[in-house]
A and B are shown apart, each in its own frame.
Chain A
């Protein structure tokens, strides 16, 4: 796997997760209290750092074949979930992911809750909202970094790609203090779904003992092949609108 492909796959996946976490932190800060929201974010980042430090070396020590089987299976399941949702969204069978709408909903919910301080945290609800949002989205980032990095035997590069994505999104979010509506999130989720599915297919089959024709070059067929197949499914579904479509 080329370092460029590793960097792009991890960067794109982490941008998507970071945008979602940023929306939650912005909602917590705007509706409740910025100090509590940033404290919650910092607390979650500290927990995630501990998870990376604890699991990183352990994952790198697992024999490559077993790692590829386990990680390939998980990536394939995750990738198919992402791709399935992306196809449903692109074909109009599921509402597009809308950061503005999510931000407004989070804002309304957060504004309705009573304020309660706890220790050094001025607003406990704002803290926990931010903490949970960053931790849950961050766990996906950690998973992507460790699995892609360990499989490519380059956790460092995967971590750099993730850090670039998180810092970029966080900086833009802090600068504009508004949901990142201009990020083409739905398109990026489509691309990430294709890449996770392709790498999951490749590594999963290799881990189970298969030898791909052309070795690593098989990815150059798998990625465009899955992309074309997904686009064809979008075209087919667009021609068959469902009355009670998936909407959330």
Chain B
């Protein structure tokens, strides 16, 4: 039973988070920052593109360093 639950959790982790948890964490942080800025009534469209530009090279660098 425990093995099945672990296998189920591993499937969903792989399906949603994938190879690099940093990407998922960055997406959540950037959207939270966007929400906070929008509540403060200032321009809030830029955090997600900024995180994208920062995250993708870092994630690629991590992948090439560890070979996966």
Contact = CB atoms under 8 A, between A and B. Distances in A.
Contacts of B24: 77
B44 A83 contact: no
Contacts of A248: 68
A93 B65 CA distance: 10
Contact of A226 (B20, B31, B52, B67): B52
Contacts of B27: 73, 76-77, 80, 204
Contacts of A244: 67
A218 B44 CA distance: 14
Contacts of A88: 60, 63-64
Interface bracket on A: 35 or more
Nearest to A236: B57
Given A209-B39, A213-B45, A237-B60, A204 B31 contact: yes
A74 interface: yes
Interface string B5-41: 0000000000011111001100110011011011100
Contacts of B45: 205, 210-213, 218
A246 B47 CA distance: 30
Contacts of A72: 31
B56 A83 contact: yes
Nearest to A85: B19
Contacts of B55: 80
Contacts of B60: 84, 87-88, 233, 237
A242 B39 CA distance: 44
Given A73-B27, A81-B19, A87-B60, A229 B34 contact: no
A197 B52 contact: yes
A170 interface: no
A222 interface: yes
A198 to B, nearest CB: 10
A240 interface: yes
Contact of A208 (B31, B52, B59, B68): B31
A64 B60 CA distance: 33
B66 to A, nearest CB: 8
Most buried by A among B19, B52, B55: B52
Interface of B: 16-20, 23-24, 27-28, 31-32, 34-35, 37-39, 43-45, 47-49, 52-53, 55-57, 59-60, 63-65, 67-68
29 contacts: A73-B27, A73-B28, A76-B48, A77-B24, A80-B52, A80-B55, A81-B20, A84-B60, A88-B63, A88-B64, A197-B52, A201-B48, A205-B45, A205-B47, A208-B44, A209-B35, A209-B37, A210-B43, A210-B44, A210-B48, A212-B45, A225-B49, A226-B52, A229-B56, A230-B56, A237-B60, A237-B64, A244-B67, A246-B68
Given A77-B16, A84-B60, A230-B56, 11 more contacts: A73-B27, A74-B16, A76-B27, A78-B18, A81-B19, A201-B48, A204-B48, A205-B31, A205-B34, A233-B57, A233-B60
